[in-house]
Amino acid sequence: MFAFFRPVLLVVGILTLIMTGLMSCVALFAFWRGDPELSVFLISAAIAGGAGLTLVLLGRQARFHLVARQLYLLTSLSWLGMSLVGALPLFFSHFQLSFVDAVFEAVSGITTTGSTVLSGLEQLPPSLLLWRSMLQWLGGLGVIGMAVSILPFLRVGGMRLFHTESSDWSDKSIPRIQTLARLLVAIYLCISLACMLAYWLAGMNLFDAINHAMTTVSTGGYATDDRSMGRFDERVLWVAIVFMLLGALPFTLIIAFVQRPRLALLSNSQVMALLSVVAVVSLLLSAFLVWNGELPLFSALTQATFNLVSVITTTGYASADYTQWGAFSVALFFVVMFIGGCSGSTSGGMKVFRFQLSYLFLRSQIRKLVHPSGVFVTRYNGKTVQDDIILSAVAFSFLFFLTLAVLTLLLALLGLDLVTSLSAAATALTNVGPGLGDIVGPAGNFQPLPSTAKWLLCFGMLLGRLELLTMMVLFTPMFWRG
């Protein structure tokens, strides 16, 4: 049985050592700035380094071949392990966060959700602000790698639609996976640097530009101030809009475009659907704000587009309390919270392609009602879609809303009102960040929630980031029987 766990322990140990290296970098930054949290990062790095080295020694072997069951376990334990390690500096910090608050903040960071229990962010030491941003940046990179290499192989929720040779975990495919990984890291780093430069040129100071670049490209949404992006002018907001959308696009498509620029690549069904939704909904909300006299035309367009893109891409920034714009706006933001970005991006949510597959499935069923003997072929992006892929996407959608209902009921059982319970559950599963209402809304904070509620939301954030089925399968007896 231990042989089954050895490769899993090895990879989790390596990831823990990577986290240790990042902590050491922040410790150097703290030393340079004379930051009082220097000792916190040194202690955390020592603990994480010892744990990572132990796991690597336990899992070390000359050669191993990962099978599907190990990948399910590896994926879940990797995200759980990184969250726990990421919580160490927060827990040991001089701000005396409780263990549940430290874990909540770290899980929210590493899953690029962006919900926070911290307030007075502008008063936090720069090292802690940088660490929160690095958690999201690392989480965003992990999301892309998982979406293009592991999830299609595991056939999770229709992801097989995007199966490529990089999703083959046989020995012969390892060089291809390594090549893809290098390209993903290079593109992700270049976009992050471009975002940082654009923010700096738009008026941010260098520290803010670095932090917000990491949390924008990762569609994470952590900010360095309680006002989120509300303290910046419209130039900064439009820069954020561009890079949030870039983070929500398939990174394999961006790589293909960089290698061989062709406009045909931009006609991808997911991309066109995402951009169309953003354009239509932003114009609709802008018109509503102008009609009600809330804002002048350009300000309405800026605020509406920024906040909608932030929610649709599951970034979670806010430049205004949009819950004050009226019932229609609140309902609109709640609906678009479920959309998400494209597959193979840093975004969470349901993903655009699942809505498209569900529509194709519905259209096919209507056609069969009219022509019972007809044979209809479902095509997506010019390719024939097998029935099992559509059924997998439908099954995922059913599980998503079932989980949403259960999580909402559990939160309500703890005494939370309906709006808080439903929106907190939704924002956790979609990895958006802010919910609705006075407590968890864009002007609120998750700190007042009971500890049990925070643990439930941590579980929800991990479920949402791992596409539900990847983690749910671990709770079935069949998985452990092999």
- Give the 3-state secondary structure of residue 77: helix
Binding-site residues sit at 112-113, 220, 314-315, 431-432
- Please, which residues have CB within 8 angstroms of residue 375's CB and are 6 or more apart in sequence? none
Q: Which class for 154: exposed (0-12), middle (13-18), buried (19 or more C-beta within 10 A)?
A: buried
User: What tokens does 311 get?
Assistant: 């929610």
Q: Which helix (H) or strand (E) holds 379?
A: strand 379-380
Binding-site residues for K(+) sit at 112-113, 220, 314-315, 431-432
User: What tokens does 67 get?
Assistant: 């099978």
Contact 400/467 with Cβ under 8 angstroms? no
Separation of CA 368 from chain center: 37
Please write down the long-range contacts of 467-471, taking CB distance under 8 Å and 24 or more positions apart: 467/151, 467/156, 467/157, 467/159, 467/396, 468/157, 468/396, 468/399, 468/400, 468/403, 468/429, 469/154, 469/156, 469/157, 469/396, 469/399, 470/72, 470/75, 470/76, 470/151, 470/154, 470/156, 471/76
Contact 125/132 with Cβ under 8 angstroms? no
